[in-house]
Structure 1
Amino acid sequence: MAGITHSSGRPEQKSYAYSWYTAAVLMVAYTFSFLDRQILNLMVGPIKVDLHLTDTQFALLTGGAFGIFYTVMGLPIGWLADRYPRTRIIACGVALWSLATTCCAFARSFPMLMAARIGVGVGEATLSPSAYSLLSNSFDKSRLPRAMSVYSVGIYIGAGLALILGGSVVELVARSPEMHLPLIGTVRSWHAVFLVIGPPGLLVALWISTLREPARDIDHAAVETGRSFSLVRIGRFLATWPAMSVSLFLGSAMLAIMSYMDAWYPELFIRTFQWNAAQTGHVNGLASLSAGPIGMLSAGWLSSRMIARGRSDACLRLALYAAIGLSVFATAMPLMPDATTMAAMLWPIKFLGGFVPVLIPSAIQMIAPGNMRAQLSAVFGLTVGILAVTLGPVLPALIGDYILHDEKALNLSLALAAAIVGPVATLLLSVGLKQFRACLMAMQHEGSGPA
């Protein structure tokens, strides 16, 4: 693989040491990404009251406004990342979303807050397509899933910190709805949260700008025919492997819907068992901080081990197993009769939810031509953005507002949404296993796959 020396043991170890450092720095960026993205989920009550929002409007802030622009920007950013320095693209994106998060502190209406969340979505669209491409040039095929798991751990670290921090903030809001800050004046307490978590991201942007770019293992003839962004070229590749494409891009997105429904889990305990924000934030946050990373690291370890033993379809197969398990737990959890059992079921949900962000991006990098890695990662971002990021929070809210007509029936809304989505995800993930294996074999024969 380009950028990794194979002539002797010591240079290879040195190269991989810096690669692991790169993965760790990107994980820190991903942590800030999810911290900025998820912090709203524990502040449902005060934000709804102050801005006079419905559940559906609030879901648009966490899903729609963020997800649509996160999705729309993914493909052009993926094209840029296949041709220009990825570390610079990521650094600019981190700076943008950090500034947009800070701007949330000055939002005094629904449109103002939505505009700021759109900025967060545009900035975060730079991260994963560029990071996936960068990591694929830093690791060989057997190490790549483990590297992806290290990077993706940032999802649950950021989400967990957001829940724990958010729960404490909401309790503070209950005691002191307003705060007086130097130079800024009087603000609502939930506004102050964004002033705390937004600016530090600028330091992360500077850190990322210091990373070295690994060499790209690209077929230069392919690059000459693919310098311009082309949806036709992407579509041609997907149409060549239709069943595999359905599994990798639609099946994984449907599975991810159940993971993104956890935006409502903190509120679920509040409405069902009258927990306060600190209680639900700490329980949900601890589940994210513990079970989520363990699930991601387990997915990376298991898939790498299976690949090393000749199971080339390990990434997609494990995602299928996760879909079956997550369907059961995500449907049953909201219906539990007591808070203790419901809380205990958060752990398997977070554990299995950690499989998709590791396994599917790894699978995509294994079958992507060298000059399309970031673009196909952006297609994954496109489907996840349209279906999971947007519908995950919105679907239960729509069921509650327009079918059940009862915001207090959030438990039923979540169970119904999971019962619909889970079997569909399982079916879609299963149809592409055979073709995924065939594509991997074809890439190996052509010599254009990852080393």
Structure 2
Amino acid sequence: MAVPETLAPPAADAGTTSPVAPSARPGARAWFVLGMLCFVYVLNFLDRQLLSILAKPIQDDLKVTDGQLGLISGLYFALFYCFISIPVAWLADRTNRVRVLSIACALWSAATVACGMASTYPQLVLARMTVGVGEAGGVPPSYAIISDYFGPGRRGTALGLYNFGPPLGQALGVAFGAAIAAAYNWRSAFQLLGAVGVVTALAVYLLVREPRRGGLDAGPVATVPAGRVTPSAKAGFWETVRMFFTRPALLLVALATGATQFVTYALLNFTTLFLMREKGMALGEVAICYALLIGIGVSAGMYVSGRLIDRFAARARHSYALVPAVALCAAVPFFVGFVWAPSWPLALLFLAGPTFFNYFYLSPAVALVQEEVRPDQRVLSGALLLLVMNLIGLGFGPTYLGAVSDLFRATHPHHSLQLAFYTLVPFYGLAVLLFLALARVLRKEGPRTGARTGDR
């Protein structure tokens, strides 16, 4: 398959200034790579969300509780996903990021196939943990690859488009997963969609080229062709970790996104079960109506937030924080309406609000971190962002909601999830407060640009 070449900059010697202007228009190859990485991200999230989408038939088959579902989709998965992502990111910062990504994609896809072969809860736990191990090598290398194909001023939009992966993965997971499960069984959905990922991993390895690190950044860079980093450009592991957790802006953006994901992952992992068990929705209706809502609503939120950041952040750096803060405030009344609604059509109508506004945080957060650090620290810094926000959000959000639902089940057996969902409202408030604190820090620090910020 022939792929058009991009307007690639010539190699820069260590310590020289990049000859490419930050505003250089991305070439055809850059857009092709973005499309490939976005598709991998779609599969990443599709495989990750199959468990929540097929929660009802899995519960019926394996006899697991809401609390057990929360653990397997939350804490058990997150422990492997979050902590293994750190050494994988450190390796990717020093080696070929595309190879790391392709190997990771093959691993999590094979583990997804294994989920469909599980006959007991412990076997399903083991397979899901392996999915987490593979997915740990998916997103951080992709963030850094995209940042080396798209220069400052265009990264917000590029990362916003890349972040279509989660909503598209959720939508396709709902559509195909529910449809396959309705036509055959839940095991077939895992096996078929996992096999698609194995083929995609091979395509990434053969078709995506490793870009030069920092080739599109203004200021000094230290890179050589084919993604090899010069000795002076290799940031130390602990140096990067210390830099990330001692910079107020980076720490606050990680905590704010973690609080946001506490809500979004809790909602995401139990919405299908809630709609089916307490709102009377059928699996076939989930495959069409909920899939369309997820695909359109979250994608629109990702894209709009990315465009807003590219438009306002250059003039007002605290926009990285104010955009998600305002969006989360707007989401709350719609969320309460969704939980209250007596029927699933009305519930879906209200759910459109949180589906759109809940995801305004991701593109600004990723763009801020990628702009704030040196090119040779981007993969590990992206992994540290994911470590904090996924450990808090993915690890404890679904785990918390499942446990609270089990707690209410004894006294309110028909509405336990509804009551559990109401308890998420205070976490919206916590996320807003953290984003406002981040806005204050960014306003106090004043304007900065990528390479110069990372070199401090």
Provide TM-score, normalisation by structure 1: 0.87
Structure 1 residues 448 and 69, CA gap change in structure 2 (3 angstroms): closer
Alignment of 1:204-243 (within 5 A): 204-209=200-205, 210-217=207-214, 218-219=221-222, 224=232, 228-230=236-238, 233-239=240-246, 241-242=247-248
Question: Are 1:42 and 1:170, in contact at CA under 8 Å, matched by a contact in 2?
Answer: no
Quote the residue 1:31 is aligned against.
42
Deviations 1:85-116 (A, max 9, x none): 11000000000011101111221111111111
Structure 1 residues 440 and 375, CA gap change in structure 2 (3 angstroms): farther
Deviations 1:331-378 (A, max 9, x none): 332112333321112222111233223121111101112222111111
Alignment of 1:33-182 (within 5 A): 33-172=44-183
RMSD: 2.7
C-alpha displacement of 1:445: 8.9
Quote the residue 2:271 is aligned against.
265
Quote the residue 1:182 is aligned against.
none
Tell me how many residue pairs correspond in the alignment: 427
Residues in 1 aligned to 2:448 and 2:276: alpha-carbon distance in whole angstroms:
52
C-alpha displacement of 1:315: 2.3
Identity of aligned pairs, percent? 24
Deviations 1:56-93 (A, max 9, x none): 11122222222111101111111112111110000000
Structure with the larger helix share: 1
Structure 1 residues 225 and 131, CA gap change in structure 2 (3 angstroms): closer
2:400 corresponds to which of 395, 419, 424: 395
Aligned AA for 1:205?
A
Aligned AA for 2:292?
L
Deviations 1:409-450 (A, max 9, x none): 21111121x21211011111111223235557455693757x
Structure 1 residues 292 and 84, CA gap change in structure 2 (3 angstroms): same
Residues in 2 aligned to 1:74 and 1:445: alpha-carbon distance in whole angstroms:
24
Deviations 1:355-414 (A, max 9, x none): 223121111101112222111111111112211112222222111112563453211111
1:420 aligns with 2:426: yes
Aligned AA for 2:346?
T
1:333 corresponds to which of 330, 334, 338: 338
Structure 1 residues 382 and 8, CA gap change in structure 2 (3 angstroms): closer
C-alpha displacement of 1:120: 0.8
Question: Are 1:66 and 1:118, in contact at CA under 8 Å, matched by a contact in 2?
Answer: yes
Segment of structure 1 superposing worse, 82-91 or 366-375: 366-375
Residues in 2 aligned to 1:304 and 1:336: alpha-carbon distance in whole angstroms:
37
Segment of structure 1 superposing worse, 215-224 or 273-282: 215-224
Aligned AA for 2:55?
V
Residues in 1 aligned to 2:445 and 2:323: alpha-carbon distance in whole angstroms:
18
1:314 aligns with 2:319: yes
Alignment of 1:248-263 (within 5 A): 248-260=253-265, 261-263=267-269
Residues in 2 aligned to 1:303 and 1:225: alpha-carbon distance in whole angstroms:
29
Residues in 2 aligned to 1:110 and 1:7: alpha-carbon distance in whole angstroms:
56
Aligned AA for 1:50?
D
C-alpha displacement of 1:324: 1.7
C-alpha displacement of 1:279: 1.5
Residues in 2 aligned to 1:227 and 1:305: alpha-carbon distance in whole angstroms:
31
- Aligned-partner SS, 2:237: coil
Residues in 1 aligned to 2:447 and 2:90: alpha-carbon distance in whole angstroms:
26
Unpaired runs of at least 5, structure 2? 1-6, 11-17, 215-220, 224-228
Deviations 1:301-329 (A, max 9, x none): 11111135x12232222122222223333
Alignment of 1:180-199 (within 5 A): 189-199=185-195
Question: Are 1:264 and 1:393, in contact at CA under 8 Å, matched by a contact in 2?
Answer: yes
Residues in 1 aligned to 2:102 and 2:63: alpha-carbon distance in whole angstroms:
36
Provide TM-score, normalisation by structure 2: 0.86
Segment of structure 1 superposing worse, 274-283 or 359-368: 274-283
Residues in 1 aligned to 2:42 and 2:193: alpha-carbon distance in whole angstroms:
11
1:302 corresponds to which of 300, 308, 313: 308
Structure 1 residues 435 and 369, CA gap change in structure 2 (3 angstroms): farther
Segment of structure 1 superposing worse, 196-205 or 440-449: 440-449
Residues in 2 aligned to 1:51 and 1:369: alpha-carbon distance in whole angstroms:
48
Unpaired runs of at least 5, structure 1? 174-188
Residues in 2 aligned to 1:4 and 1:402: alpha-carbon distance in whole angstroms:
59
Structure 1 residues 264 and 256, CA gap change in structure 2 (3 angstroms): same
C-alpha displacement of 1:52: 1.8
Aligned AA for 1:235?
R
